[in-house]
Structure 1
Amino acid sequence: MTRSAPSPSDIAIPTAYLAGHGDAALIDRELADRYVSATRVGDPQADAVMAELVKHDSSVAQPWITKGIELGPSAIPDAPEILRSFFSDVDIPPPWVDRNAFLTGCRAFHRNSEMFIGAFVAAVLIEGFSTLISQSFNITGRIVDQGVRRLKQNNRQLVEIFLPGGLDRDGDGWKLSVRIRLVHARVRQLLSKSPEWDEEAWGTPLSAAHIAFATAAFSGLLLQRAAMLGVTLTDEERASFMQVWRYAGHLMGVPEDLLFRSEEEALRLHRIGAMCEPPPTMESIILANGLINSAPIVAGFTEPRARRALARKIYRISRAMIGDDLADQLHYPAMNTFGTLTALRLKNGAERALFAISPSLGARRRASQFQTMLSVSLYADEGPRYRLPEHAHAEKDGQL
């Protein structure tokens, strides 16, 4: 089913976006209009599923979700038709999907996984969460209170969609992406009823605009930020990387008219969307600093002094990548970043030269990177978990 955001004439601009939309419209009015219109929209298909599931006891509805994600609509003959139709639709990839074309991007990601995850954590997640999407996460507490777990979950999706076959129907990247879509719909349902949510100012919780913005950031912007750390890819690798994220974005419910087709389109959406967004709020400040201070724990540093030292290093790299203006708005510690990225690029360039001379050493390094990548991602022995939240606040809902 094709999903599209409504035209600006159909919907009022949330008050928090009025000033930014005016500035963005001077550069690209059509895209700025589409973006702010989508702040009033969720995911109509997934939201309709949640509206139906709330009529059923969770002991019945949760197994439908699990079986549907794992096995498809044929595994849930007793489920409501709207849920079966959802899984029937999501099971069929769009005609532009070419899974063979994903392999080049997957290889490029794993060849540089350490730098990609570094850029993801130190810059792209921070920039993604500097938008008003932070309001949703702050109210629910799903990153603020459970930062380590959430950071590992974000890392895990990144890892899984770039495993060969990860976006096949039975791949964990596919399943996690669909799970994220349904969790977003459930949280949207809960927050829409919460007195803490200001719809007039902020629009719809976890809106189509924010899911599209995040997907653009995690793809085109991630390529840009990884290049700042010394990652070099061919045009074919970059295009393949973008197609992996384009399909992941489709699975997560991004409307077709906000789903990029290229790196250029993703960066354009990110730029215009960032202009439409208001300056970072206190919630964004809490979220950004919480993510950075969670990273050393995720990396396995338990001694307080070592954790503080690594957090300070991440702050320095992050400031160098996102720029002083945004870093100051997010209340980063003041520090000089001169030469920070140059040193990292030189180090990575020297490693590439060494591994070209000694392929066996390069193979051991890639194996080590893969193990590190798994250690900073959330894995459970029982496999992926698909339980949907039952409360808006994470502390009332337990671990997800």
Structure 2
Amino acid sequence: MTYTPAVMNALRQVGDELADATVDALFARGEIGKFNTLMRYFSTAGQELPDGLPDVAREYLHATSTAPDWVDWGEMEKARLFFLHNNMHISTALSFAAMPACYAVPHVARLLSATHSLEYPSRRMAETGQFTVYLMQPDAFENGGRFVPAAQKVRLLHASIRHHLRRADRWDTAGLGTPICQEDMIGGQMLFSLLVLDSLHRLNIHMTTDGAEAYFYAWRVVGAMLGVDQTQAPTDLESARSFLDLYLARHLGPSDEGAHLTGQLIEMYEQVVPGTLLDPLVGALIRYLIGDTCADWLKVPRTSWDTLVNAAPALLGALETLEDRSPLATWALDALGSLVTRFELSSLTHGRVMHYAIPEHLKPDYGVSHTVPHPHRWAPPAPTLSRHEPAASGPQS
């Protein structure tokens, strides 16, 4: 598919018909509070739906209870192994590249600032981390797995934000299109897939082409589960580059909301990391991965660590080479990565399960075996736009 401004403009007018109709009906019948209460007891696939659940919600949950019929489960297993082998690096890219990139899109930052829960950035990051961990479990789509119910709830959360903004006359629909529209949902899918892969490449993480393509494929499945129209979304990394380049060129910019959210993100991670010595590393990593221009828009502070972080790819590349050559090193580094990721997630969640409740109001203001590496490492698709800002491999300058 060829992406043009006209195509993107059309995608800005479309939301998620199924989820929107469900949420509209729940609000019209005054059943949101009841739904949220009952949904706290529905957290695993295949579990009996709670008694008293509104009929419209029951129909929605049945309709969205299975993965798309086109899923290639062999490809999903490749993605799971890729994630387990690179989980610490992926978590870093999600936290310090994908999320700040979302904040550098002003209307997305405004949307993210609209809910009360996002006053607490640890909740947002905990929900994102937990969601990704659920996705990469062996039973993610089977009875007993937690991913499908989480996806169902996140999809309704997005629909509820559309509901509030449209009905409270707090969104410039004429100028900005539908809130959380298909263009933005596809953009989010690209930021959490292609931009993460770009960031791993920038950090000098060794990836096979098969692994990178499988990871991208997994996020296509996620997008479908979250209401993204996959007939309009990129199907491969080359078309993903085309979409992401155009999306970022259309929308990147500074905003007070983006700077505020980024400040909260930095402060949160400074609190997670013990002591204060490594505090400047958080901002330095963000600046390295998204570039100086976007970092300045988001008011990421400059520190002496900015220069030191430039040495990270060389260090990580050396560790990756060691890992490629030694099964023992592979096991040790994978185990360390898993431990660090679990520590980070447990610090954010405090050991609790996040429930993705539908907000009734908005804010009043705004151990796996490692396969032998393929001899050819993955490299990002070439840029499709000739621009100084943003660079094609993510919002770097």
Of 248, 252, 268, the match for 1:294: 268
User: Are the counterparts in 2 of residues 151 and 295 from structure 1 also a CA contact under 8 Å?
Assistant: no
CA distance in 1, matches of 2:321, 2:2: 46
For 1:160, the aligned partner's letter is Y
Which sections of structure 2, spanning at least 5 residues, go unmatched? 366-397
**Structure ranking higher in helix proportion:** 1
Of 130, 137, 149, the match for 2:112: 137
CA distance in 2, matches of 1:366, 1:394: 45
Match of 2:17 in 1: 44
TM-score normalised to structure 1 length: 0.80
Q: Report deviation, 1:167.
A: 4.0
Match of 2:355 in 1: 385
* Structure 1 pair 75–151 and aligned structure 2 pair: CA distance change class (3 A): closer
* Structure 1 pair 34–97 and aligned structure 2 pair: CA distance change class (3 A): same
**RMSD (Å) for aligned C-alpha atoms:** 3.0
Q: Secondary structure at the match of 2:192?
A: helix
Which sections of structure 1, spanning at least 5 residues, go unmatched? 1-27, 396-400
CA distance in 1, matches of 2:125, 2:110: 17
For 1:48, the aligned partner's letter is A
Confirm whether residue 34 of structure 1 aligns to residue 7 of structure 2: yes
For 1:391, the aligned partner's letter is H
CA distance in 1, matches of 2:21, 2:74: 33
Q: Secondary structure at the match of 1:385?
A: coil
Q: Report deviation, 1:178.
A: 2.0
Match of 1:318 in 2: 286
Query: Counterparts in 2 of 1:160-171, with a 5 A limit?
Result: 160-168=134-142, 170-171=144-145
Match of 2:255 in 1: 281
For 1:392, the aligned partner's letter is L
CA distance in 2, matches of 1:36, 1:203: 8
* Structure 1 pair 151–73 and aligned structure 2 pair: CA distance change class (3 A): closer
User: Are the counterparts in 1 of residues 283 and 300 from structure 2 also a CA contact under 8 Å?
Assistant: yes
CA distance in 1, matches of 2:354, 2:69: 28
Query: Counterparts in 2 of 1:91-170, with a 5 A limit?
Result: 91-131=65-105, 132-143=107-118, 145-168=119-142, 170=144
CA distance in 2, matches of 1:339, 1:333: 13
User: Are the counterparts in 1 of residues 288 and 310 from structure 2 also a CA contact under 8 Å?
Assistant: no
CA distance in 2, matches of 1:180, 1:76: 19
* Structure 1 pair 73–88 and aligned structure 2 pair: CA distance change class (3 A): farther
Q: Secondary structure at the match of 1:215?
A: helix
Q: Secondary structure at the match of 1:258?
A: coil
For 2:6, the aligned partner's letter is D
Confirm whether residue 351 of structure 1 aligns to residue 319 of structure 2: yes
Residue by residue over 1:16-39, the C-alpha shift from the partner in whole angstroms, topping out at 9 and shown as x without a partner, is xxxxxxxxxxxx985422322222
Query: Counterparts in 2 of 1:1-400, with a 5 A limit?
Result: 30-54=3-27, 55-58=29-32, 60-62=34-36, 65=39, 70-71=44-45, 75=49, 79=53, 82-131=56-105, 132-143=107-118, 145-168=119-142, 170-277=144-251, 279-297=253-271, 299-301=272-274, 303=275, 305-306=276-277, 309-310=278-279, 312-334=280-302, 343-356=311-324, 358-377=326-345, 378-379=348-349, 383-393=353-363
* Structure 1 pair 340–229 and aligned structure 2 pair: CA distance change class (3 A): farther
For 1:346, the aligned partner's letter is A
User: Are the counterparts in 2 of residues 73 and 85 from structure 1 also a CA contact under 8 Å?
Assistant: no
TM-score normalised to structure 2 length: 0.80
Residue by residue over 1:232-263, the C-alpha shift from the partner in whole angstroms, topping out at 9 and shown as x without a partner, is 21111111111111111111111233322112
CA distance in 2, matches of 1:392, 1:282: 18
Q: Report deviation, 1:222.
A: 0.7
CA distance in 2, matches of 1:186, 1:100: 34
Q: Secondary structure at the match of 1:91?
A: coil
CA distance in 1, matches of 2:359, 2:351: 21
Q: Report deviation, 1:366.
A: 1.8
For 1:45, the aligned partner's letter is L
Q: Report deviation, 1:73.
A: 9.9
CA distance in 1, matches of 2:46, 2:189: 25
What count of residue pairs does the alignment treat as equivalent?
A: 361
CA distance in 2, matches of 1:73, 1:164: 18
CA distance in 1, matches of 2:47, 2:182: 25
